Amino acid sequence: MSDTKKPDPNSPIPSAEKLRMNILERQLADMDREDKLKEAQRKEHTKFADEFFKKHVSDEERAIIQRVVMRAVNEGKMEALVYSFPSDFCTDSGRAINNADPDWPSTLQGKAKELYDRFKEVAQPQGYHLKAMVISFPGGVPGDIGFYLSWEPPVA
């Protein structure tokens, strides 16, 4: 059953002004929905940023990383994307990572720095590798940074 009604051929024709008003009202409603969506996204980003810079990596986040790695292993992969964050959370907005600058770790902050430091302390001595790369380019500029953990054997 369709929600649209068949037009009544005997009903009066709406004025052009009425049609323009209907379009305008629909456009205003669409703009209002977009504004609410943008506000919700802004609040979510603000909350994420606050946690990223003020809190430590949680046990739950570490458990998620372990599950991601184990899933990749079960699928026969040698690396996994284990963490991502906005490039503007780096001190240089991700430029060093994008340019493969060997000093890119010095641009990390918050949880990204904490994860990198933990990698250096715990995982790297066990033969793991970590690479950081820009994984999105909205508008042609670095968007999100991804940390890829790898357990590939060394290249001979």
Q: Could you report the per-residue pLDDT of 83-102, keeping only the tens digit for each?
A: 999 999 999 999 999 999 99
Amino acid making up residue 74:
N
**Which residues, including other chains, have CB under 8 Å from residue 64's CB and lie 6 or more apart?**
none
Q: Residue 10: its pLDDT value, please?
A: 82
Give residue 34's pLDDT.
94
Retrieve residue 45's tokens. 């980003």
pLDDT averaged over every residue in the chain: 92
**Tokens read off for 78:** 């040698």
Q: Domain boundaries in the chain?
A: 55-150
Global pTM value: 0.75
* Per-residue pLDDT at 155: 77
Euclidean distance between CA atoms 97 and 100, whole angstroms: 5
The stretches in the chain having pLDDT less than 70 are 1-4
The number of helix segments (H) and strand segments (E) in the chain equals 4, 3
Cβ-proximal residues to 107 (8 Å cutoff; 6+ apart), any chain: 90, 91, 92, 94, 95, 96, 97
- For 12, the 3-state DSSP assignment is coil
How far does Cα 85 stand from its chain's mean position? 6
